[in-house]
Each structure stands twice: as C-alpha cells, then as structure tokens.
Structure 1
Amino acid sequence: MSDPIVVDARGHRCPVPSLKLMKAMQNAPPGARYVLLATDPMARIDVPFLMSQKGGKVLAIEEADGALSLTIETGGWPDAPTD
C-alpha cells in the first residue's frame, strides 16, 4: 500500500479544511488514503460527517501540539457520475 496523501489545512478555519480535503480527493479511487492536518477543532466533527456523506471512513484521529491529524479512506463516492 502506498503512503497516504497529506493535505495540510493548518491555520484555516471551517469549512476550509473539509474543502481542501474534498478537492484533494476529487479523482481518488475507492480505498485511497489521506491524512488531513488541521488546527481547527471543528475538523474533528466536519470530516467524519463528510466521510459519511461520501461513503468513506475515518480510520484515525490524533491530536498533538494543538494540531489534529485525521486519517481517512475514500469510499465509492455515492454521488459520483456513472458511465
């Protein structure tokens, strides 16, 4: 398995961390892993909600030195267009 893609949203307030993560995941295949770095405590709530809406899952949430590290895995993107 390849290393997760890191999305650095430290210093940004809601909704920017979730928007940056969504943009990074835009063309990701199911099962791709990302790590979102965020200093906004709302990311702890926003990202799990986003993943529930997009069919992905949160694998881990860690906090160190005032920053959150959220590891997520993309799902099947239920609202993605089909061919």
Structure 2
Amino acid sequence: MAADPVFVNARGMRCPWPALRAARAMRDAGAIVIEADDPIAATELEALAQTQGWTFAALGDRHFGLSRTE
C-alpha cells in the first residue's frame, strides 16, 4: 500500500519557489500535495512534473498533486 502524500505549504511564495519546494519534497516522497497561491504555480508545477516524468494533477483550489509514475 502506498504511503500518504506529503503535504507542502507554499502559500505566499512566488515562483519558482513552489516548484523548488515540490522538487525538494519529491526527493524522499513518492507523492506530494502542494498548496500554492501564485497564479503561475500550476504551470510551473506541471512543467516540473513533465520534466521529471511525474504525474501532475490539479486537485482544487490552489492544491496540486505530484506523484511518481509506477
């Protein structure tokens, strides 16, 4: 059974900080949920996921998921 995703709080941070926080969290996690309120965050996080071969999901209001593909 997969572990619960790690929560990353990136509220109030301007890009590229949310993506940098996400990348750092993914070093040790199989999946994260990140809350980011910068309007560019979704685009940056999706690009990070594509670059790394991870799955990206918009989970709702300012919440995004990144996970390793199996």
Aligned length: 69
Unaligned runs of 5+ residues in structure 1 are: 77-83
Structure 2: tracts of 5 or more residues without a match: none
Residues 33 and 64 of structure 2 are in contact (CA less than 8 Å); yes or no, is this contact kept in structure 1? yes
RMSD after superposition? 1.6
Take 1:25 and 1:47, find their aligned partners in 2: how far apart are those partners?
A: 12
Residue 63 of structure 2 corresponds to residue 69 of structure 1: yes
Q: Tell me the percent identity.
A: 32
TM-score w.r.t. the length of structure 2 is 0.86
Structure with the higher helix share, 1 or 2 = 2
How far apart in 2 are the matches of 1:59 and 1:42? 15
State which of 35, 38, 59 in structure 1 corresponds to 2:57.
59
Of structures 1 and 2, the larger Rg is shown by 1
Structure 1 stretches of 4+ moved >6 Å = none
Query: Which residue in 1 is equivalent to 2:26?
Result: 25
